[in-house]
A and B are shown apart, each in its own frame.
Chain A
Amino acid sequence: MDVTFLAGMFQSLLKGLPLTLNLWLLSLAGGGCLALLLNLMRQSRVGNAVAGAYVFVFRGTPLLIQIFMIYYGLAGFGVIRHSILWPFLREPYWCGLLALVLNDAAYTSEILRGGLRAVPRGTVEAGRVSGMGRIAILRRITLPLAIRQALPAYSNEIISMLKATALVSTITLMDITGIARAAISETWRAVEILLCAAVIYLALSIIVTRLCGWLERRLSPWHFGRTTP
């Protein structure tokens, strides 16, 4: 066990942590907003078809193809290269972030849809009868119930997005995985480097899982056999 090598490796890999965290959190935020939008679109017939098609394509194809399509595929069109979007699409960071946001939105919108469906109609009706406006019903009845229902599935999605950020290393971004791949070609010590990188991701995912578990217990203590948080 070459401790000095491993220690040095950890230091190098952690330099990629800011980019990984950045992409992870922003893709969740962006994806979440887009998912809300998609669910709102489902109210109308046309919107429902569009949202359905969007979800079908983005959940049915690998993220890697989506990343390559956005980074290389779009750049092939002169129209794009001369548009106002080009300063963004020129940079691998924005292409990667866009791909992650679009991908996350598809999965999150389905999770949200499941959560919203689980809200009993009776409770919403009761709210209306009590004179609550639409916003109030959304805020005090629908969303709290939907979020509690969707939380276990969404915590899986959060971890999935963390793992997904590793794929942006294929378009030259130096996140943790990108630095690891470069280091492998420097030192030929692939297994040790990959294990170091794996440990970092594992640590992050365990922290998040614990946090989500805590949140679940606080929001729905009755699921875990207690009456109060």
Chain B
Amino acid sequence: MTLTRSTVLRAGLAAAAILAFGGPVLAEGKTYVFATEAAYPPFNMSKPDGTIYGFEVDLLAEAAKRAGIEYDLISQAWDGMIQGLVDGKYDGVIDAVTVTEKRLQVVDFSLPYTTGGSTFAVLKDAGIEIPGADSLVVLDDETAAEASIAAVAEALKGKTVGVQVSTIQADFLEKYLAPRGVTIRTYPNGPDVYQDLMNGRLDATMAAITNISAFLEKNGDEATTAGPNFTGGVMGRGAAIAVQKGDAELAEKLGAALKSMSEDGTLEALSMKYFKMNVTPKL
């Protein structure tokens, strides 16, 4: 066969297409691929040798066993994860993804496996006082929440708050605090936000209570939580496993597994193990 332009082009494209086939994709005995960040303690973290461990790793192992499915857990950057799910790169995302209206437009969710809200973290000697500690503010009723939000905005006016990109906390900050004179900075990676708080570049950060607790375990001498516990509204209602839109089968299988785990106390035990508190809902 002559080495013409078109044969070379075809060969090159074929090679590219072949190399592009990532994982196993057979109809029977399908192995589901789940994506996680592996850098969001204590939900999912990585060890030096690359193994992923954490609350969600154990949760997924147990749920998959009960649902009778084979699965692979891969680590991806959070930045493009939901977009990746929308594009069909994987079958599910398990990364403390909170169920929100905005996300429900593009993906489906299993039953939630944690509740728990979000709050702020500040450095102890930075002198930032945010009113409303130990109070729970439900954002579903915006008028009722307005007083708390205004107080928080007043305390943070002119200050810089850091948050991870594409999170419910980022949505909250953009919607309620940015218009009131608070500077918001978004980071691609979660750990980097805490790093900049420690470096003094940020006056406060906002994240899930469970995530902040994990951070405070290592840095409790220098940092502490501040402000009210926010939930509901733009903060959604609990974290669940995200699946592709229309994949009711997987959502139901996982939901049923999670329900049985909640009923026999496995879910609560896992929560106590990793969060030292029970943040699981009664399913």
Interface residues of A (CB under 8 A from B): 72, 75-76, 81, 90-92, 170, 172, 181-182, 184-185, 188, 190
Is B165 part of the contact surface with A, judged by Cβ < 8 Å? yes
Give the CA-CA distance A182 to B178 in the complex, in Å: 15
Tell which of A90, A92, A172, A181 has the most Cβ of chain B within 10 Å: A172
Q: Which of B74-98 contact A (CB under 8 A)?
A: 79-80, 82-83, 86-87
Partner of B201, one of A75, A170, A181, A190: A75
Pairwise interchain contact B79-A81, C-beta atoms closer than 8 A = no
Give the contact stretch, choosing among B38-46, B141-149, B183-191: B183-191
Give the CA-CA distance A213 to B114 in the complex, in Å: 61
Give the CA-CA distance A76 to B198 in the complex, in Å: 9
Chain A residues in 8 Å Cβ range of B79: 181, 185
For chain B, the count of residues having a C-beta within 8 Å of the partner chain is 20
Pairwise interchain contact B200-A81, C-beta atoms closer than 8 A = yes
Nearest neighbor of A190 in chain B, beta-carbon distance: B83
Is B106 part of the contact surface with A, judged by Cβ < 8 Å? yes
Per-residue A-contact encoding for B153-188, CB less than 8 Å = 1, 0 else:
000000000100110000000000000000001111
Interface residues of B (CB under 8 A from A): 79-80, 82-83, 86-87, 106, 162, 165-166, 185-188, 192, 195-196, 199-201
Pairwise interchain contact B200-A172, C-beta atoms closer than 8 A = no
Give the CA-CA distance A125 to B60 in the complex, in Å: 78
Q: How many A-B residue pairs have CB under 8 A?
A: 38
Give the CA-CA distance A182 to B171 in the complex, in Å: 11
Pairwise interchain contact A90-B165, C-beta atoms closer than 8 A = no
Nearest neighbor of B167 in chain A, beta-carbon distance: A185
Pairwise interchain contact B187-A75, C-beta atoms closer than 8 A = no
* A189 vs chain B, min Cβ distance (A): 9
* A81 vs chain B, min Cβ distance (A): 6
Pairwise interchain contact B165-A182, C-beta atoms closer than 8 A = yes
| A188 touching B165 in the complex, CB below 8 Å, given contacts A90-B201, A172-B187 | no
* B244 vs chain A, min Cβ distance (A): 13
Q: List 11 A-B contacts (CB under 8 A).
A: A72-B195, A75-B199, A90-B199, A90-B200, A91-B201, A92-B185, A170-B188, A172-B185, A172-B187, A182-B165, A185-B166
Pairwise interchain contact B185-A188, C-beta atoms closer than 8 A = no
Chain B residues in 8 Å Cβ range of A172: 162, 185-187
Give the CA-CA distance A190 to B186 in the complex, in Å: 18
* A190 vs chain B, min Cβ distance (A): 5
Q: A75-B201, A172-B162 are in contact. List 13 more A-B contacts (CB 8 A).
A: A72-B192, A75-B196, A91-B201, A170-B188, A172-B185, A172-B186, A181-B79, A184-B83, A185-B82, A185-B83, A185-B165, A185-B166, A190-B83
